[in-house]
A = this chain, B = another copy of it.
């Protein structure tokens, strides 16, 4: 089999301030244009939320976002974060990632290649993976059925490499799983 790409790192621009600034303003402009097209406005809060997602080097949940943003702007409300995340998803700048516990996380999509996720039910780690061949066969199935795909969700739940090594990790006992009946279970 052909080698497939290994890991998708989050952008590390945060360590190169001028590069980050340029990147931020480019993305902000895209956001503002999208907003403008619908008669909406770019507010201080919307800007901060997007900046936070761009600076993050991991997937963030609503509450994490809320706590981080609250440090700069103690008056920010959860509702605004929900509303803004929804807008960012609508314009394709941000994507939702499921978790085993129901609280979604979010990631910047702009300037990052498409990938899917493996989610560890023990330590909650999210592993990003790419498989162009897999996507190719997925597209084949979609075409075969005369379907037009708008988005997809492909999430694999299980145990990560590290949690398999450390057998005693007692931390997250919430996620009880019945049994592994197949390789990738249904």
Contact = CB atoms under 8 A, between A and B. Distances in A.
Contact of A131 (B137, B179, B185): B137
Interface of A: 1, 4, 6, 89-92, 95, 98, 109, 114, 118, 120-121, 127, 129-131, 133-135, 137-142, 144-161, 164, 176-186
Contacts of A155: 152-154
Nearest to A161: B146
Chain A at the B interface: mostly helix, strand, loop or mixed?
Answer: mixed
9 tightest A-B contacts by CB? A90-B178, A146-B161, A134-B137, A151-B185, A149-B158, A152-B156, A150-B158, A92-B181, A149-B184
Given A118-B141, A133-B133, A134-B141, 19 more contacts: A4-B144, A90-B177, A92-B179, A98-B153, A109-B186, A127-B147, A131-B140, A139-B184, A146-B164, A147-B161, A149-B158, A149-B184, A149-B185, A150-B158, A150-B177, A151-B156, A151-B177, A152-B155, A152-B157
